[in-house]
Chain A
Amino acid sequence: MAAEFDVTARGSPAADPPPGILGKVMRHLLHPFRRGTPPQPQPATGFYTDTSVCIGCKACEVACKQWNQLPADGFAFTGNSYDNTGALSAESWRHVKFVEQFDVLRSLRERVPGNGGGTSEPLAERAEHSPADGRLSLDVIPPPADRWLMMSDVCKHCAAAPCQHACPTGAIVYNEFGNVYIQPDICNGCAYCIAACPFGVITRSHFDGHAHKCTLCYDRQKDGLVPACAKACPTASIQFGPVAELRERAAKRVDELKQRGHAAAHLYGNQRTEAYSELHSFYLLLDRPAVYGLPDDPVNPWVHMRGDYLRTVAFGLAGLLLTLAVFLLAGRPA
C-alpha cells in the first residue's frame, strides 16, 4: 500500500539469529539480552481538530474502534443531545461531544407574532450592509446565534504529559513520533496516570485491568498510514501530520474564521502556558474551552507538586533546625 505520509527512517528489529539447532539454543539463551536498534526520532506528529467543520458523524469513533478492535461498551441512551458515548475511556478513544447553544429566552420572544426573529436580522439593518451593487456579500451574514457545536475529543498527546510523569512502571513512553504511548503489557494497572491526566482521557479497561488510550495509531504510523480517525473523517475536521505543519494551517484557519465574524475562534493547546505544555493534539474551538468540557487553563499536577515538594523539604528542614535548636538550647546547662 502506498504510504500516506512520509516515514523517513524506521527502527529495525534485532538481526535474525543463525539457523539450526545451535541457533535455537542461542536464541533462547541470548534473547532476553538482545536489543534492536531504537527507532530514529521523527518529527513530532499529532492531530489538529477543526471543530468548525465537524458534522458530528462519529465516523472517527467507529474507525477507531474497528482499527484498534476496541469493544463496544454498552448501549446507554444518555439524553444528552446526540452524545451516547459519554466520555473518553479505555474502550472509547475518540468521543464526539455535542453542545447545544440555544437561547431559550430569545426563542420565547420569537414566538410573539409580528416579530421577525429566527436567525434573520431585521431587513433595514441588512440593507445598510449591502454593497452598492445590491448584492449581499458573505460578511453581512453573522454567525448563527443558535448553535450546535460538535467536537471530536481525543488524547491530547501533551508535549510534557503528566500521565507519563506519573507512570511508575515506565509503561507510558514517548514513541519516535513524539506521541504518548501506553504499553499495555508493561502497565500494572496502578491508575496513577488516570489521576494525573487533567483532561480525563485515560481509564482502566473493564476487560483486562490495564490503562488504555489513543495510541495515535502508532501501528499505522509505522507503516506510513495516517491514523484511522483522520482517514475516516469526511470533512477534514480531524487532520493528522507533523505538528509544526498543522500549527501553521490552524493559525491561518483561525484568521479566516475571525474575518468571517467568528470572533471567538481560537486554538486550544497550540502553545505552552505557565501551567501546561503545548498539546500535540490541539483544537480549533468556536467558544470557551469549558463550553466543550475542556479545562480553560489546564494545570499539570506537577506544577503544584513542585511547590509541595519544596514546602515539604523546607518545612522538614525547618523542623529539623528547630528540633536541633531546641535540643541544643535545652541541653545547655542552666
Chain B
Amino acid sequence: MPGLGATLGRGAATTYQQDLANADCLLVMGSNMAEAHPVGFRWPLKAKENGATLIHVDPRFSRTSALCDVFVPIRAGTDIAFLGGLIRHVIEHDKWFREFVLAYTNAAVIVDEGFRDTEELGGLFSGFDPTDRTYDPQAGHWNYAGANGKTQHKDEGNPGTHGYGHMGGGEQHPQPQKDPTLRHPNCVFQILKRHFARYTPEAVAGVCGCSPEQVVRVAELLAANSGRERTSTIVYAVGWTHHTTGVQIIRAAGILQLLLGNMGRPGGGIMAMRGHSSIQGSTDVATLYDLLPGYLPQPTTDDAHSTLRGYLDKETLSTGYWANMPAFVVSLLKAWYGAAATPENEFGFGWIPRVDGDHSHLVTTDRMARGEMTGYFVFGQNPAGGGMNAGMQRAGLRALDWLVVADWFETETATFWKNDPTGPPPRDVKTEVFFIPAAGSPEKEGTLVNTQRLLQWHNQALDPPGDCRSDAWFVYQLGRRLKELYADSADPRDWPIQALTWDYDRRHPHTLPDRTASRIHDEPDTLRILQEMNGRTADGRLLQTFGELKDDGSTACGCWIYSGVTPEPGRNRANERDRTPGNPVEPNWGFAWPLNRRVMYNRASADPDGKPWSERKKLIWWDEAEQRWTGPDVPDFEPTKPPTYRPPAGATGMAAIAGDTPFIMKTDGLGWLYAAKGVKDGPLPAHYEPIESPVGNSLHPRQPDNPTVRTFPGPLNPLAAAPTADFPVVATTFRLTEHYLSGPMSRFNSWLNELMPEMFVECGPELAAEVGFANGDWVTVRTPRAGIVCRALVTSRIKPLRVDGRAVHQVGLPFHWAFAGETVGGNANDLTSIVADVNVSMHEAKVFAVRVEKGPAGGPGLLPTKRPVAWPTREPTPGTPPAAQPEGGYAHGG
C-alpha cells in the first residue's frame, strides 16, 4: 500500500470503521461497501442517520449506491481524473484548509527546479527512461531543492526491488527550503495547482462520462463538510487497488484529504477496506515476497545488503520513527534464530534469502506457465478460479511437478486436472496434486487482523472433522520435518533451517470451550506464536511496547508493529472485548497496531499549538497542566513532546520531528502532497487510461496508459492494448454479498447458492438492444484471452456513458463462479489479463475491454462437481426431543 505509505507514512487504513459514523460526509469510491463489507456498512448508515451525506462514485449502481444520497456513474478506470477534478476544484475555489495544509503538509516545500511535470512533457514526468520504461527520480530532479538526504536511486525504482513505499517512504531532507506564502513557482502547492489545472469539470466529465455538475457537486459537498468543525472520510477498497494506476489513485485521495484537512481527525481519514479476512495481517507479517514482518525491507542481492551493517546503513532513515529500524531488524533476527543469532554472525542476517528480481504472484504465474517452476503450495487461495487470467494460471499449474492444496473443499485449484473445461484430458496433466483437508475458522484458534489493523483473537469452538487440520498445523509440522531432515547436514546452506527457532508445542493440554480434551494433540500453540511476534527481553519478559526494542540482541520480536498485544503472561489483548462506556474509541476491544492507536496521525486532530481544531472534532490534545498529549485515543505521537518543540540542528530519529508535525513515520513529520520518494511512477497522480480501454486519453493524448506498466506478452496473455472496435465495451468485475471471492467458501453451500445460483453479466438495456438479447438470455463475453458463457441480467441500473463524444457501454461481471462446486459457471477471471503496475505488481482486474455476443442457446453445459445438499447440516440435534428440533428441519415434530 505505497499509496498511503508514501503520502502519510504507513500503508494502512488511517481510521477505524466505527469512526465512519462520526463523518459529516462520506465519499465511497472504488468500493462496494454495502455488498462487500455489509457489517461495516452499518457505520456509514449511522453517519447518514446523524445527518451526513453519503456519496458513491462507481461504474455500477450497486446496493451501496442504493443507500447513498448522491450517486455519480463514472467509467471504470477513470478515478484519478475524477479525484483530480475534485482536487482542482478545492484549490481553484480556495476551499482548502489553510492552517492545516501549511502546518502539516509539504505544500510550502520548494522542489528542485530541474523537475518537469506532465504538463510540460506531454503526460510524462521528468526522468523517464524509455528504454526500460522506468523513472529515474534522480535524473528527473524529483527531489526537494538543495536536498542533501539520501536520494532515491534508479535501481530502487526498478521492478522487483522494493522501494520504501510500503511504509514511510524514503529519506527526505527534514528541514528543506520552504515558502510559507506558497507563491514560489516551484513550491509543492504551485506545482500541484499547475498539475491539476487541466482537470476542469468539463474535461473530467469528458473522461469519466459523468456530468461536469456532478464533479462540482461532489467537490462542493466534500469541501462544505471539511474544515475546523466538520470532517469527511473517503472509503475505498479493491475497486481502487486493482488498477495499473491503483497506487496513484490512492495518492490522489491522500492529497485531497490533506488539502481538506481530514487526516488524523474523528470522522476523517482514508478507510481502506481490505479484500479478504485478515489480509491486513498477511501484509503485516509479510507474506509479500519483498517485505520482512512489520514492513521491513527484504534484503536484496545489492552489494550493500551483503552485510547487516551495510543493509542498515542503506535502509535506515536518519529521522522520524523509522530511525529505529536497526532495533526492529536485530530483534526480528533474534526471534527467528534465537541463541544462534549473535553479534559475531550479524544475528544470522546472512541466512535471510535475498530478493533478486520480481517474485510477486503474477510474475511467478508467468514463470510457472513457462515451465520454470516445479512445486507450489496453495493455502486458502484459489488461483485456478480466482487468479488473474485464470486460464494462464491453470496452464501454470499443469506445468508443475507437484502441487499442494490445503482447503475445505475441492476447489478449482484442487480439481483443475480433471474438471477444467478448457484443459486437456486428465491423462495429459503431469502435475501430482496433493489435497490437504483444512480446518475451518471455528475449528482453530488464532488472530484475524481486520481492515482497521485490529487484532482480534478467535477461540476454537470444536475439533475439525477427520483428518482436517489447521494451516498452522500443516506449516508447523512441515517445518519440524524439514528440521529433522537437515539436522545432521554440514552444508552451510542448511544452517538457516538448523538455526531457526521452531518450538510452538502446547505446554498445556489442548481443551475445547466445553472443557473436553481436544482429539488432536499436535496442533501448535498459536498464542506462543503471537507472543513471539509481541517480543521478549533476553530474560524472557514479554515486551509492553516496541519502544523497548534494542539493536544489541537483548530483545527478540517477530513483528515489531504487533508489540504490546500480549504485554504480560496470561494477558492477550487481542482476546479482550471490554466495552469502555463514554469512550467512543472503545480502546479495550481487541488490539490495534501500532500500540492500540485507532486513528493514526491523530496529533493532527489538534492545531499546531496542540488545541483541538474544534470542540466537535476533538480527539487528542496537549494538556498543558499534565504536560502530555491526552484524549480518548492513544496519541500517535511522543506522549510528552510539547507542541512547541523544535528539533536542534543535526537531530536524528524522533528528536528530529517537531512538536507540530503529526506524521511521525515521515522523515519530516509532514503529509506529502508531493511524494519525491516511495512511488515509482511519478511524484503526483496523473490520469492514464487502463491498459485495455476503448477510448484514448483525452487529458494526455500522447501518453494513453501508465508508461511504467509491465506486460507479459505471450500466447496465453494477449491484450487489446489499443482502442479497438473488436472489444468496444468496458468491463469491470465486482463482488456480490451472497458469495465470497471465487467461491471456495460459498459455492459449496446450498443456502448461499440458492440466493445467487448462476454466473451473469450485468448490462444496460441499451447494450442488450444493440446486440439483440433479452434479460435472462445466455450471452458470451469475450476478451482476447477467453470467452465465457453466462446469463444476461439486463438492468437500468447500468447506463451507457458519454465519453469522448460517443456512448460507451459498461458491463459488470461478478467473479464468483468457475467449474468446481454445487453451482458452476463462466469465470470472470478467465477474461482478465496479467499486467503489473510498477509499484506493487498489481493487475488490472477492475477494468478491461470486452465484446458481448448473443448465445449460445442452452448455456455453457457445465456440470456441478458437488451434489447440492438441501439441508447443509441435516443431522438432528442430538439429545433433543422432536418438538425441540429446529422448526424447519425434517426432524421437527416427529
Is the beta-carbon distance between A72 and B42 smaller than 8 angstroms?
no
User: CA separation between A170 and B717, bound complex, in Å?
Assistant: 67
B212 to chain A, nearest CB (A): 8
Nearest B residue (CB) for A149: B66
1/0 contact string of B63-90 vs chain A (CB within 8 Å): 1111111111100000000000000000
User: CA separation between A75 and B867, bound complex, in Å?
Assistant: 12
User: CA separation between A292 and B874, bound complex, in Å?
Assistant: 34
* A244 proximity list for chain B (CB < 8 A): none
Q: Taking the complex as formed, is A329 at the interface, i.e. its CB lies under 8 A from any CB of chain B?
A: no
A55 to chain B, nearest CB (A): 4
Is the beta-carbon distance between A68 and B889 smaller than 8 angstroms?
yes
Segment at the interface with B among A1-9, A18-26, A134-142: A134-142
B618 to chain A, nearest CB (A): 20
Is the beta-carbon distance between A144 and B70 smaller than 8 angstroms?
yes
Grouping DSSP codes into helix (H, G, I), strand (E, B) and loop, the B interface class, with mixed when no group exceeds half, is loop
Q: Taking the complex as formed, is B603 at the interface, i.e. its CB lies under 8 A from any CB of chain A?
A: no
Q: Taking the complex as formed, is A27 at the interface, i.e. its CB lies under 8 A from any CB of chain B?
A: no
Contact flag A68-B886 (CB < 8 Å), given A62-B752, A104-B796, A135-B224: yes
A291 to chain B, nearest CB (A): 14
Nearest B residue (CB) for A63: B751
Q: Taking the complex as formed, is A93 at the interface, i.e. its CB lies under 8 A from any CB of chain B?
A: yes
* B791 proximity list for chain A (CB < 8 A): 77, 79
Q: Taking the complex as formed, is B547 at the interface, i.e. its CB lies under 8 A from any CB of chain A?
A: no
Interface contact tally, CB-CB below 8 A: 208
* Of the residues B66, B70, B776, B889, contact of A148 by C-beta under 8 Å: B66
User: CA separation between A207 and B38, bound complex, in Å?
Assistant: 33
* Of the residues A77, A118, A149, A185, contact of B894 by C-beta under 8 Å: A185
Is the beta-carbon distance between A77 and B210 smaller than 8 angstroms?
no
* A113 proximity list for chain B (CB < 8 A): 802, 805
* B220 proximity list for chain A (CB < 8 A): 136
A213 to chain B, nearest CB (A): 10
* Of the residues B752, B754, B796, contact of A73 by C-beta under 8 Å: B754
CB-contacts of A73-128 with B (<8 A) = 73-79, 81-82, 84-85, 91, 93, 100, 102, 104, 107, 110-111, 113, 115-120, 122-123, 126
Is the beta-carbon distance between B870 and A72 smaller than 8 angstroms?
yes
Q: Taking the complex as formed, is B434 at the interface, i.e. its CB lies under 8 A from any CB of chain A?
A: no
User: CA separation between A144 and B217, bound complex, in Å?
Assistant: 14
Q: Taking the complex as formed, is B884 at the interface, i.e. its CB lies under 8 A from any CB of chain A?
A: yes
Nearest B residue (CB) for A122: B213
User: CA separation between A126 and B45, bound complex, in Å?
Assistant: 24
User: CA separation between A56 and B63, bound complex, in Å?
Assistant: 7
CB-contacts of B803-820 with A (<8 A) = 805, 807
Segment at the interface with A among B169-177, B258-266, B411-419, B755-763: B755-763
Q: Taking the complex as formed, is B795 at the interface, i.e. its CB lies under 8 A from any CB of chain A?
A: yes
CB-contacts of A202-226 with B (<8 A) = 207-208, 210, 212, 215, 218-219
A253 to chain B, nearest CB (A): 9
B193 to chain A, nearest CB (A): 21
Contact flag A71-B871 (CB < 8 Å), given A58-B738, A91-B888: yes
* Of the residues A68, A85, A104, A135, contact of B765 by C-beta under 8 Å: A104
User: CA separation between A236 and B39, bound complex, in Å?
Assistant: 10
Nearest B residue (CB) for A71: B870
Contact flag A235-B752 (CB < 8 Å), given A55-B35, A138-B51, A138-B53: no
Is the beta-carbon distance between A144 and B754 smaller than 8 angstroms?
no
Is the beta-carbon distance between A118 and B66 smaller than 8 angstroms?
no
* Of the residues A84, A107, A135, A148, contact of B755 by C-beta under 8 Å: A84
Q: Taking the complex as formed, is A69 at the interface, i.e. its CB lies under 8 A from any CB of chain B?
A: yes
* A76 proximity list for chain B (CB < 8 A): 754, 757
User: CA separation between A91 and B217, bound complex, in Å?
Assistant: 47
* A57 proximity list for chain B (CB < 8 A): 34-35, 38, 63, 737
Nearest B residue (CB) for A207: B890
Is the beta-carbon distance between A234 and B42 smaller than 8 angstroms?
yes
Is the beta-carbon distance between A146 and B211 smaller than 8 angstroms?
no
1/0 contact string of B743-785 vs chain A (CB within 8 Å): 0000000111111111010000100000000011000000000
User: CA separation between A270 and B791, bound complex, in Å?
Assistant: 40
Is the beta-carbon distance between B800 and A111 smaller than 8 angstroms?
yes
User: CA separation between A323 and B388, bound complex, in Å?
Assistant: 88
B70 to chain A, nearest CB (A): 6
| Interface size grouping (class) on chain B | 35 or more
B25 to chain A, nearest CB (A): 9
Nearest A residue (CB) for B215: A120
Is the beta-carbon distance between B888 and A65 smaller than 8 angstroms?
yes
Q: Taking the complex as formed, is B868 at the interface, i.e. its CB lies under 8 A from any CB of chain A?
A: yes
Contact flag A116-B221 (CB < 8 Å), given A56-B66, A72-B753: no
CB-contacts of B827-881 with A (<8 A) = 868-874
Nearest B residue (CB) for A55: B34
Is the beta-carbon distance between A136 and B224 smaller than 8 angstroms?
yes
Contact flag A55-B41 (CB < 8 Å), given A65-B751, A111-B807: yes
Q: Taking the complex as formed, is A53 at the interface, i.e. its CB lies under 8 A from any CB of chain B?
A: yes
Is the beta-carbon distance between A150 and B71 smaller than 8 angstroms?
no
Is the beta-carbon distance between A77 and B211 smaller than 8 angstroms?
no
Nearest B residue (CB) for A253: B49
Is the beta-carbon distance between A61 and B755 smaller than 8 angstroms?
yes
Nearest B residue (CB) for A187: B893
Is the beta-carbon distance between A235 and B41 smaller than 8 angstroms?
yes
Contact flag A110-B799 (CB < 8 Å), given A55-B38, A68-B889, A77-B757: yes
Is the beta-carbon distance between A118 and B214 smaller than 8 angstroms?
yes
Nearest A residue (CB) for B894: A185
Is the beta-carbon distance between B887 and A215 smaller than 8 angstroms?
yes
The winner among B63, B754, B807 for most chain A CB atoms within 10 A is: B754
Q: Give me the 6 closest cross-chain CB pairs, A-B, nearest first.
A: A69-B889, A75-B757, A72-B750, A102-B796, A69-B886, A70-B888
| Selected A-B contacts with CB under 8 Å, 26 pairs | A55-B66, A65-B751, A66-B873, A67-B886, A69-B871, A74-B754, A79-B793, A81-B795, A84-B756, A100-B797, A102-B795, A111-B800, A113-B802, A115-B211, A116-B213, A117-B211, A118-B71, A118-B72, A120-B72, A120-B213, A122-B213, A136-B224, A148-B65, A212-B887, A219-B884, A219-B887
- Spell out A's residues near B (CB within 8 Å): 53, 55-59, 61-62, 65-79, 81-82, 84-85, 91, 93, 100, 102, 104, 107, 110-111, 113, 115-120, 122-123, 126, 134-136, 138, 141, 143-144, 146-150, 183-185, 207-208, 210, 212, 215, 218-219, 234-236, 256
Inter-chain pairs besides A59-B737, A77-B760, 5 sampled, C-beta below 8 Å? A85-B754, A100-B795, A110-B799, A111-B800, A148-B797
